Structure 1
Amino acid sequence: MTIHDQRDPRFRALIHPNAQLRQLGSGFEWTEGPVWFPAAQMLLFSDIPAHRMMRWTAETGCTVFRENSDYSNGNTRDPQGRLVTCHHGLRAVSRTEHDGSRTILAASHDGKRLNSPNDVVVRSDGSVWFTDPTYGILSDLEGYRAVPEQPGNYVWRIPPEGGEPQPVITDFTQPNGLCFSPDESLLYVAESGSSHDPDIAPVIRVFEVTQDGRVDNGRDFAMVDAGLPDGIRCDANGNLWSSAADGVHVFAPDGTLLGKILVPEVVSNLCFGGPRGNRLFITATTSLYQIAVDAAAAGW
């Protein structure tokens, strides 16, 4: 099977022609939220409908990390190496402390519950940024059906010192994956509203971020031409890697589609990891995949 779809010569520098897509595990219900922990050489990811979080290591393969995950979705790690998780079930964002206890970082705004936090990133200053579409409350499959209490589906920011989250972007239909550029001056956010409304463009937008956490000059960055964008990541050179229906789409910092890694299942999310940071882990429908790449996460 051909796994590379080159659209621009720059793609050759990112994917070795001999790199193979490996299936690391399968039989899941809907995989999401991969995050790599270098200190433990461990990948964590969510199996949302199964109500659990999974662990993968090279030695043990896929094992259960956490049962009763409160329908966890997106995950990331903070500058202190702690796990930060979005939960559809709790309608909240939590942090797992080093002793294993959990702290709720955000669950409401102005006395009203959040929708269903979806994906999350932590800036180097400790501020926590997350998206809050309604997917987890639309049915009982990935959470608990409920009526939204917030007036919209927003991108939120929790200040470095903690406290109630504040909306920073309010004009998305269904904001989904998000990531920062390597210097954190840009915030990319995926619009996945076409999942329920075909008139919504499957676009990734980009915003300029100020030192005090405000965003400005939002504009379209790139369009996914197969399915919709979900999870996204930037590599150390500022290229953006996006999930899509046919695999992983790689965009240059100027928005040019460089090429695709073709995957036999619909991709939900991805992250960089492995001993040298140059392995791309891909969550795709019922499976977890890995491929070696000539790129690594920013700040590796």
Structure 2
Amino acid sequence: MCSGTTPATNGNTVDRQGRLISCEQGNRWVTRTEHDGSIWFTDPIHGINCDYEGNKGESEIGACHVCRIDPGTVPCASSRMTSPAPTVSRSRPTKQRLCITDTRQEPSHIRVFDVTDDGTLTGGKIFAECDFGRFDRIRLDDAGRVWTAASDGLHCFDPTAP
């Protein structure tokens, strides 16, 4: 076993400006190469409840949240998730949406939230439910399809399909 704090990077993405954003479970922080703009991230239990995915310890806030970092602030946007997994946002011509997997719910599912102009979340309807195992990790492609991993493999959802 390694000694010291390990970053246990989990959940990497590239934003629309080409900046790499990483969630580090071991250090319990989100890293990015630039200092301006906002970042959405989740605060699941991974890396707190055992040493396997981070450094076991007491939760500093006692819950799992979805948060948004703006320069100088870290407001909690949603606290109704059991164990939210890494998030992605998608810009649309008139609004922005945020997709979040809640991995520890039965069944595991993906929720879709609308992002208001002030950065708060509304809605949160269930977009897809996992029928085998749990959803974990999530990405959107250029066509707007939602990709996620589960126990039985890779799933792809097209939000425009009937």
Normalised by the size of structure 2, how large is the TM-score? 0.85
* Residue 179 in structure 1 maps to residue 88 in structure 2: yes
Secondary structure (helix, strand or coil) at the match of 2:47 reads: helix
Aligned residues of 2:40 and 2:88 also touching (Cα < 8 A)? no
Amino acid at match of 1:152: A
Deviation at 1:167, TM superposition (A): 0.5
User: Shift of residue 240 of structure 1?
Assistant: 1.2
For the residues of structure 1 that align with 2:161 and 2:76, how far apart are their CA atoms? 26
In the other structure, the counterpart of 1:72 is 9
Quick check: 2:6–2:55 contact (8 Å CA) kept in 1?
no
Q: Tell me the distance in 1 between the aligned counterparts of 2:86 and 2:53.
A: 17
How far has the Cα of 1:201 moved from its partner?
Answer: 2.1
Output the CA distance in 1 between the equivalents of 2:91 and 2:148.
Answer: 16
Equivalence map 1:185-196=2 (5 Å): 185-194=96-105
CA shift at 1:254, angstroms?
5.0
In the alignment, structure 1 residue 165 sits paired with structure 2 residue 71: no
Amino acid paired to 1:215 = L
Identity value in percent:
39
Q: Which has the larger radius of gyration?
A: 1
Within 5 Å, which residues of 2 pair with 1:21-170?
A: 70-96=7-33, 126-159=37-70, 162-170=71-79
Distance 1:50 1:190 in 2: 30
Superposed displacement of residue 165, structure 1: 1.1
TM-score, normalised to structure 1's length? 0.48
Counterpart Cα distance in 1 of 2:144 and 2:2: 34
The 1-side partners of 2:143 and 2:20 are apart by 25
Q: Name which of 97, 104, 108 aligns with 1:202.
A: 108
SS at match of 1:84: strand
Question: 2:160 and 2:17 mapped to 1: Cα distance?
Answer: 32
Q: State the Cα distance separating 1:180 from its structure 2 match.
A: 2.0
Structure 1 stretches lacking a partner, 5+ long:
1-48, 52-67, 98-104, 106-124, 195-199, 257-300
* Pairing 1:232–2:141 present: no
- Give the aligned partner of residue 223 of structure 1: 129
Is the contact made by 2:6 and 2:54 (CA closer than 8 Å) also made in structure 1?
no
> Is contact 1:182-1:238 (8 Å) kept?
no
Q: What is the aligned residue count?
A: 159
CA displacement 1:86-143 (0-9 Å, x = unmatched): 111111112246xxxxxxx7xxxxxxxxxxxxxxxxxxx9310001011101111121
Q: 1:235-279 CA distances to partner (integer Å, 9 max, x unpaired)?
A: 2232211111111111121576xxxxxxxxxxxxxxxxxxxxxxx
CA distance in 2, matches of 1:202, 1:255: 21
Q: 1:78 to 1:233 in 2, by over 3 A?
A: closer
Aligned residue type for 1:177: P
Displacement after TM superposition at 1:69 (Å) = 5.6
Instruction: Check 1:253–1:151 CA distance in 2 against 1; reply closer, same or farther (3 A cut).
Output: same
d(CA) in 2 for partners of 1:226 and 1:182? 30
What letter is aligned with 2:49? L
Q: 1:157 to 1:71 in 2, by over 3 A?
A: same
What is the root-mean-square deviation of aligned Cα atoms in Å? 2.6
Q: Are residues 132 and 141 of structure 1, via their aligned partners in 2, closer, same or farther at CA, if it must alter by over 3 Å?
A: same
